[in-house]
Amino acid sequence: MSATSARPSHAAQPSGSAFILKKALISAAVALVLFSLMIGIRTEAGPQGGLIYWTRFGDLAALVGTVFGGSIIIELLRQWWGPVDKEHIVPKPVQAAMSFAGRWLAPALLVFAFLVPVIFYNQRYILDLSILVLTYVMLGWGLNVVVGLAGLLDLGYVAFYAVGAYSYALLATNFGLSFWVCLPLAGILAAFWGVLLGFPVLRLRGDYLAIVTLAFGEIIRLVIINWQSLTGGPNGVSGIPRPTLFGIPLDNSDDGLAAKLGIDFSPTHRIVFLFYLILAMALLTNWVTIRLRRLPIGRAWEALREDEVACRALGINVTTTKLTAFATGAMFGGFAGAFFATRQGFISPESFTFQESALVLAIVVLGGMGSQLGVALAALTMIGGFELFRGFDQYRMLVFGIAMVLLMIWRPRGLIGHRAPTVFLERNQAISSDLVKEGHG
Amino acid sequence: MSGDPILTVDRLMMRFGGIVAVNELSFTAERRKITALIGPNGAGKTTVFNCITGFYRPSGGAIRLTNDDGRTMQLERLGDFRITKQAKVARTFQNIRLFPGMTALENLMVAQHNALMRASGLTLLGLIGAPSWRAAEERAIELARTWLDRVGLLSRADDAAGNLAYGDQRRLEIARAMCTEPVLLCLDEPAAGLNARESGGLNELLLSIRNEQGTSILLIEHDMSVVMEISDHVVVMDYGVKIAEGSPQAVRDDPKVIAAYLGADEEEAIAVMESGT
């Protein structure tokens, strides 16, 4: 395709090879200024402590050239595609295929999830990775209640994850309680902290709410670090008991599961068990959330996101509605935390930094706020994709960042951008994301 | 004014800093009647509404609501959402406040929140799908369907509220308020932005709400054709005080009202007031 396209281009947008060349030259100049210091000159501490440096002008030239070429390619692509918000007519067969894929994607993913341990039984790395992905799917679904449904921006979700993890770790190591007793306790404690956080922040909205939840996340982490007598401080808690299959340990002892079934012991059994455990917990989260959406409380959450004043005028107690959203989200975070503790066998405050909150929030936003399937896909993309780019070594973050920016340009409301109604008379039609509010906290 | 008052506003005061928005305002709204609150821009009508519906806490005075069974509630002490929940007062807004990303039907379901919360056993019965909850949900959908039909939006039930035309949104907001099953319906300029045919339809709807549901209506309105045609009683405000009240005819001929409404130019004022009939 030539620069001066035969296609009618957007009136406001200049086209033509001169424009493209000018833009590419400007980009290359900016790249030259930026990278001449970042890439062109490399400094390092020498053996005698002095600073030694060397130049890498070859790399610099290659990079500036890439930017120049890339700019031309992107501009050509843009002119070929037209403005981002332009409606593109999709051919009928493609439309049919898309709707078919849309309908069968969720069941197919579910079936695949169940088969993962069967397919990848001998690949420990993949099993560990899928457990990690599922943990984030569950966290994403939990935070989705607060951010996606109720529209309350929570930047400190990791606090509840930490509360759940430490609840299990401390109850199990100090009192010898089993995982199955601690799991509900961890959820209840996290929900309790959710309510406790909820009370002071109820009057706050938007940015202010985000700041307070962010601070809450940090407070929990700092308390864990400094309350050495209880939490072990920065050393963390170690020797957390592994989960048992309702009392039967998954080890190579005489009353372990392998011995009872009369099969050879393999450490993979425990991994597979953990996989199905987190899958079950994530699916429970999903089921409860889908159920809640169709109940008055879930509709009140969504109504709260749409218009808080109107909710008050309809006699909805905004305070308790917000608190239940916080508590429900926190409870799922607590469950996930307990699972995290039992999987790792060791936890320390380092696992509960703001980075985790940001990651889970990114999953929810990327997935499309309020969409269960979207969150699952986003968790798969974020966590799985991050691993996929491991081969890129130091460029991993760069590639990942670019991918995120591109996705947000093309799909600003997330992967699944529309909202499914919770009740209908005749037609169950999705609601365009343009109408759905994001909430003001 | 005698009879059976549903709402008694007694020397209501509302100050914002040094500004007195409502000054010792007293009036009553009769049961099963339509009471209109009119006045020039900035007279304090919406402030009165916000006091009655709990969005503002009055600086002084009392607002009493007498229920059908004779119980009296002090609205200024209830505050916020309890006014709708316990005293059964519903309102609409001057600038429409629907839930735009939810369907018309969902909007009406949210309005039945309190009844449905009870039926769902504070969510627990609903979570396990108890039969009693399912029956309650069926009834709620049925009530919503009835109201969608009454406001002529049954065919749009599954469309997003934000996609409806302006006039439809106004009617949906009234239907949503009625789904809370109120004894007193407060409408803040329901005819604003409607064309002549639509405001005619609105008149019929409001009259049918009064006659069939027996709901008392308090409305703020600028559209004189609506006020004159359906009001049983009119209260006129200016600068936060009541300047006149009475039947639509009596108010229309009151020189004080005419003077307040359109300045001192009586000729012009009379022309405008008469054009409304």
User: Which residues, listed in sequence order, are joined to residue B34 by a DSSP beta bridge?
Assistant: B217
Same domain? For A224 and A270 the reply is: yes
Residue appearing with tokens 């509404």: B49
Asked if residue B94 belongs to a domain, the reply is no
Higher pLDDT, B41 or A3: B41
% of chain B beyond a pLDDT of 70: 94
Same domain? For A339 and A232 the reply is: yes
% of chain A beyond a pLDDT of 70: 93
Q: Range with the lowest mean pLDDT among A70-79, A313-322, B260-269?
A: B260-269
Position A440 confidence tier, pLDDT thresholds 50, 70, 90: low
Same domain? For B16 and B82 the reply is: yes
Residue B4 clears pLDDT 90, i.e. is over it: no
C-beta atoms of A296 and B123 within 8 A = yes
Strands A237-238 and A346-347, how do they pair?
Answer: antiparallel
Asked if residue A415 belongs to a domain, the reply is no
Same domain? For A393 and A248 the reply is: yes
Question: Of B163, B181, B199, which marks where a domain is finished?
Answer: B181
Question: Of B165, B181, B197, which marks where a domain is finished?
Answer: B181
Q: Report the candidate in A250, A257, A253 with the shortest Cα–Cα distance to residue A271.
A: A250
Determine which of A425, A434, A436, A438 to mutate to test the interface with B (most B C-beta atoms within 10 Å).
A425
Higher pLDDT, A204 or B25: B25
Residues from B contacting A (CB-CB < 8 Å) are: 53-55, 80-85, 90-91, 93, 97-103, 105-106, 109-114, 116-117, 120, 123, 126-127, 141, 145, 154, 157-160, 162-163, 176-177, 180
Q: Strand, coil or helix: what is B14?
A: strand
Asked if residue B42 belongs to a domain, the reply is yes
Q: Residues A92-150: pLDDT tens digits?
A: 777 777 777 777 888 888 888 888 888 888 888 889 999 999 999 999 999 999 998 99
CB contact burial B142-172 (16+ within 10 A = b; e otherwise): ebbeebbebbebbebbbbbbbbbeebbbbbb
Distance of CA B204 to the CA centre of its chain: 15
How far apart are alpha carbons A13 and A3 in whole angstroms? 13
Q: Report the candidate in A3, A5, A39, A2 with the shortest Cα–Cα distance to residue A22.
A: A3
Query: Please, what is the average pLDDT of chain A?
Result: 84
Asked if residue B93 belongs to a domain, the reply is no
CATH number of the domain that residue B257 is part of: 3.40.50.300
Question: Of B157, B181, B205, which marks where a domain is finished?
Answer: B181
How far apart are alpha carbons A168 and A339 in whole angstroms? 9
Q: Count interface pairs A-B at CB distance under 8 A.
A: 133
C-beta atoms of A425 and B100 within 8 A = no
Q: Residues A35-72: pLDDT tens digits?
A: 888 888 888 888 887 888 888 888 889 989 999 999 89
Position A87 confidence tier, pLDDT thresholds 50, 70, 90: low
CATH number of the domain that residue A373 is part of: 1.10.3470
Backbone dihedral angles phi then psi of residue A246, each to the nearest 5 degrees? 50, 50
Residue appearing with tokens 């409502």: B22
Asked if residue B134 belongs to a domain, the reply is yes
B202 DSSP 8-state letter: H
Asked if residue B250 belongs to a domain, the reply is yes
Q: What's the pLDDT at A46?
A: 80
Position B129 confidence tier, pLDDT thresholds 50, 70, 90: confident
Q: What's the pLDDT at A79?
A: 81
Same domain? For B44 and B121 the reply is: no
Same domain? For A38 and A167 the reply is: no
With beta carbons less than 8 A apart as the criterion, state whether A282 and A375 touch: no
Asked if residue A431 belongs to a domain, the reply is no
A11 DSSP 8-state letter: T
Instruction: Work out the angle at residue A173's Cα, subtended by the Cα atoms of residues A169 and A179, and round it to the nearest 5 degrees.
Output: 60
Residue A6 clears pLDDT 80, i.e. is over it: no
Residue appearing with tokens 């691993």: A387
CA-to-CA separations, B177 to A299, A437, B71, B209, in angstroms, rounded: 16, 21, 22, 12
Asked if residue B57 belongs to a domain, the reply is yes
Domain span at residue A68 reads 17-81
What is the average pLDDT across A296-308?
A: 92
Q: Residues B31-80: pLDDT tens digits?
A: 899 999 988 888 888 899 899 988 888 888 888 888 888 788 888 888 77
Dmax (CA) for chain A in angstroms is 79
Residue appearing with tokens 């401080």: A233
Same domain? For B81 and B139 the reply is: no
Domain span at residue B270 reads 1-88+182-277
Q: Tell me the ipTM for this assembly.
A: 0.87
> How many angstroms away from the CA of A409 is the closest CA of chain B?
22
C-beta atoms of A314 and B176 within 8 A = yes
Q: Report the candidate in A385, A329, A335, A391 with the shortest Cα–Cα distance to residue A361.
A: A329
Q: Which residue is closest to B137 within chain A, CA to CA? A: A295
Same domain? For B194 and B63 the reply is: yes
Asked if residue A106 belongs to a domain, the reply is no
Same domain? For A75 and A122 the reply is: no
Same domain? For A261 and A382 the reply is: yes
Write out the E strands in A60-187.
Answer: none
CB contacts, 8 Å: A427 with chain B: 158
With beta carbons less than 8 A apart as the criterion, state whether B81 and A318 touch: yes
Q: Report the candidate in A427, A407, A360 with the shortest Cα–Cα distance to residue A144.
A: A360
How far apart are alpha carbons A326 and A328 in whole angstroms? 6
What is the average pLDDT across B226-251?
A: 88
Same domain? For A132 and A241 the reply is: yes
Q: What's the pLDDT at A5?
A: 42
User: Which residues, listed in sequence order, are joined to residue B38 by a DSSP beta bridge?
Assistant: B236
Tally of structural domains, chain A? 2
Same domain? For A55 and A138 the reply is: no
DSSP string, A150-209: S----S-THHHHHHHHHHHHHHHHHH---HHHHHHHHHHHHHHHHHHHHHHHTT--HHHH
CB contacts, 8 Å: A419 with chain B: 101
Residue B262 clears pLDDT 70, i.e. is over it: no
Q: What's the pLDDT at A176?
A: 84
Same domain? For B228 and B245 the reply is: yes
C-beta atoms of A432 and B160 within 8 A = yes
How far apart are alpha carbons A370 and A303 in whole angstroms? 13
% of chain B beyond a pLDDT of 90: 27
Q: Strand, coil or helix: what is A53?
A: strand
CA-to-CA separations, A255 to A176, A247, A251, A262, A265, in angstroms, rounded: 19, 10, 8, 11, 12
Rg (CA), chain B: 19
Asked if residue A358 belongs to a domain, the reply is yes
Full 3-state SS string of A278-306: HHHHHHHHHHHHHHHHCCHHHHHHHHHHH
Tally of structural domains, chain B? 2
> How many angstroms away from the CA of B33 is the closest CA of chain A?
22
Same domain? For B168 and B207 the reply is: no
Residue A222 clears pLDDT 70, i.e. is over it: yes
Q: Residues A225-260: pLDDT tens digits?
A: 999 888 888 888 888 888 877 777 777 777 777 777
